[in-house]
Structures are given as structure tokens and as C-alpha cells.
Amino acid sequence: MDSGKIDEIIDRHRGKSGDLIHVLMEIQHKNHWLPRDVLHQVAAALEIPFSRVLRVATLYKTFSLTPRGRHEVHVCTGISCHLRGAKQLLESVERATGIRPGETDTAARFSLETGSCLGSCSLGPEIIVDGKHHARMTPEKVEDVLKEYQ
């Protein structure tokens, strides 16, 4: 993301300390992560201590202080999905992307996460890519689904 877009987001909220989470979410959505220098910019623009910005950015799992892929892949590992083959599904996603949970591929195309329940137990096992649910997944379907996000 270019600095002009970040500046534009920050400028819309300049001096509004109550907008901190909104600013961080907008930047995270556009940039896929929150660089430290951007957190300093946010603190200065919103006129709040950097420590507060950093505390909020590290408190919520939605925010990442390390580069993330353009596409976020979540594999449900909850008990319902586990019983239906989530382990094999996760292994297939790992093979297809070349990464393990918590990692981002070198091309910054995919980031992989797991979750103990993604809220769709009757549809499991499932993966969610960029918020889109892919239900009743099998290891054989993984590559076809991920090709949609090239």
C-alpha cells in the first residue's frame, strides 16, 4: 500500500482519538498489516501516545504487526470439523500453500490460520478464504478453491 493511501485514511480521522480502532482496521484492510512506522503516524495524527496505539494493535487478533498475505485462509479445527477430517484438510492447505498456520508465503499471496470454531459446525469441515466460507471441504478440493485466489 502506498503511503498516500495511508495518509488519506489517517487524515480523515486526524485529531479524533476515539477513532483509533477504525483507523487501524481501515489500514489493516487495505495493507494487510500494520507497520511500526504507520503506528507512529497514527499516534501523531490522533494525538495519542504511541504506547496506546501499540497496545490496541497487539490486543486484537484481527491486527497483524507482520506482513500478511493478500488472501487469508482459515481452517476450522473445532471438534465438529475435526471429526469430519479437519486435520487432513489442514495438511492439504499446507501442501498447496507451502506454509503452516501463523505463516505467510514468500509471495505474500496467502496467510494461514486455524480456529477452534469458525461458527458453521453443520457445514464442516470448512475453510474460509477472505471471509468466504467453503463448506464440506475435502483435501481433494483445496487446490481448486485456492486457485480462485491466485
24 three-state secondary structure? helix
CA angle 76, 115, 61 (to 5 degrees): 145
Tens of each residue's pLDDT in the chain, 150 residues:
567 888 899 889 888 888 999 999 999 988 889 999 999 999 999 999 999 999 999 998 889 998 889 999 999 999 999 999 999 999 999 999 999 999 999 999 999 999 888 778 888 899 999 889 999 999 999 999 999 987
Q: Which fold has domain 71-147?
A: Glutaredoxin (3.40.30)
- Evaluate if pTM is beyond 0.85: no
Would you list the domain boundaries of the chain? 3-59, 71-147
